[in-house]
Amino acid sequence: MANQKKTGSSNPNLLKELIGWALLFVIMWGAWAMFKPPVSQPIQLSYTDFVTRVQAGDVKDVTFEISDAIQVGTGTLKDGTKFTTIAPLYDASLYPLLVEKGVVGDFSNPQRSVWLTLLLNIGSYVLLIGVFFFMMQRMQGGQNNQVFGFGKSRAKLFMDNRPRVTFKDVAGLDEAKEETGELIEYLKNPKKFTTMGATIPKGALLVGPPGCGKTLLARAISGEAKVPFFNVSGSEFVEMFVGVGASRVRDLFTQAKQYAPCIVFIDEIDAVGRHRGAGIGGGNDEREQTLNQLLVEMDGFDANKGIIILAATNRPDVLDPALLRPGRFDRRVVIDLPDAKGREEILKVHAAGKPFAANVSFSTIAKETAGFTGADLENLLNESALLAVRRSKTEITMDEVEEAIDKVIAGPQKKSRVISEDERRRIAFHESGHAVVGKALAAREEVHRISIVSRGMALGYTLQLPTEDRYMRTSEELLREVAGLLGGSASEKLFLGSISTGPSNDLERATDVVHRMIRAYGMSDKLGPLTYGKSSDLVFLGKELSEERNYSEETAQAIDAEARRLVEEQYQRATEILEMNRAVVENLVKVLLEKETLQGPELEEVLKGVIDLTASTVQIQPPAASSGAPVSPQPAL
């Protein structure tokens, strides 16, 4: 990296130096042209006069050049006078006369053929036309590389060159492999299914968040099935020319029929399979014509036997219902975020070929990476390997893995950011407040790491890890989360007497949680088990634009009042917990200022005195009146 930076920084200096030398040359050449002595201009002799002077012996030397079917002669008379003349191309008596009179010069026949002259004149035009047609062919693209090959399918066919990925390389997707494994088994042994009267699904839709392994699973299916495999992206169907997308769909299925049984995989199918009637142009939209052709090819009048369609998307909500009905995509395979066991298996797959130390525990890493996708875990181990190389180590230790987790979650360390001692002390109290309140209330989460080292946009952070995978949360757990988020602000107010701009992100997240409790989850006793508000979006654009309010202004005021009450109650709850554990907070701040980062047994030792309040509910006094001044968003701690 250092060499690259050095090379990149020297190029501008080299360019400036070259420009300087070029300017100097131009200036010197201009000065020489202005002050050079005048050169006498040659005289113009007619061809008759030239021949007469040759016969009289007045010509010293002459040189002929052919230009545009004529000969231009330049030479010197014996008195030193320069001259020019024009001679015909086919005067056979000229050259013997020059030799006879002793005129100095090369008199080998300089005449070139008419064909050579013609070729030189029109060759440039022929070359230009050839380059034009070549560029036209390249611009059309396509596998056949034809000028008018717009309607040809862009799908790539894999046969003997199919990906070598198999199901062994796909970890954490046991259910998905079982669902798609039936498709592979049908292609290998169809009689096994037909004897039972079963028909194999015509298509399977792989659904899941980005990075969870949809495309990887498709590659593994290609490697396992050992049948022709067509791979195409949804965006490759649609062009600016009307009818091109539908033509490419027809061509794709025409090729697939020739290689049946086979698999056709359409990646990011939402690019072409969105709801009809929602786009600009209505039914005449080019995208909708492409979708119509795809629907017909998948399950139309002429059935396609032996062709299984796989498609992947992370936006199944925008797909057209006709595409999802039985007979087209019969089976929906959900590829969700991996659980702790799945993350551990994925880590072991990506750890192959990397030298890990004996102290690296993949089960611990799996617990620390809740919410990570398979792509995130692969990137995590790659970052660990890069850190080990940067530190000149021969093995990847747990220190590099922990550093990589912090880097992926919070960002790289801001080593150049200079923080004063007063700010470091405030950050330490802030993070200690999060840790102590989290330790006292989070029964199903444990405080794993506290740091006051600046990373990314955060000046410090507290990492809490779930002790088990959770798929739903109770109202009490959400209130404990709000109290933990407000612990940093409460700690600053209690121990330092004021609140900084740091907790702005905590306040935003806490407010979002209580609003979802009231409006989406029906967890408010005052407003009852109802949902308030409905998101409205345009399917064609694929993003949420606004919220449809289905409640009155009085209800909106009641929602705001209820959200305020819940936040203030949990703020008071966090303050009382910190007051009960004042000694632990002050000791934790002292250790943090000294070591900056705490985790593992060292952190457990400091937090062992925290009073556990998970088994009982702290009695909350009615919240005191507040001014309700708005908080300006600031960078979070």
Residue 595 backbone dihedrals phi, psi, to 5 degrees: -110, -15
Residue with tokens 């936040």: 567
Distance, CA of 397 to CA of 516 (rounded, Å): 41
Beta-carbon count within 10 A of 394 CB: 8
Closest CA to 430 of 493, 479, 481: 493
CB 434 within 8 A of CB 611: no
Q: How far apart are CA 623 and CA 602, in angstroms?
A: 36
Q: How far apart are CA 507 and CA 487, in angstroms?
A: 10
- For the question of residue 224 being annotated catalytic, the response is no
Q: What is the DSSP letter of 427?
A: H
Burial-class residue 122 by CB neighbours within 10 Å (0-12, 13-18, 19+): exposed
Tokens encoding 343: 């993350």
Report in angstroms the alpha-carbon separations of 487 from 54, 284, 438. Answer: 111, 57, 8
Q: Which of 236, 288, 431, 562 is catalytic?
A: 431
* Interhelix angle 475-491/553-580, nearest 10 degrees: 60
- On the question of a cis peptide bond just before residue 261, with omega within 30 degrees of 0, the verdict is yes
Question: Of 535, 565, 557, 537, nearest to 626 (Cα)?
Answer: 565
Residue bearing tokens 């192959």: 352
Omega within 30 of 0 (cis) for the link into 633: no
Ramachandran region of residue 230, left (φ > 0), alpha (ψ -120 to 50) or beta? beta
Packing angle of the helix pair 421-441, 475-491 (nearest 10 deg): 160
Q: What amino acid positions are annotated as catalytic residues? A: 431
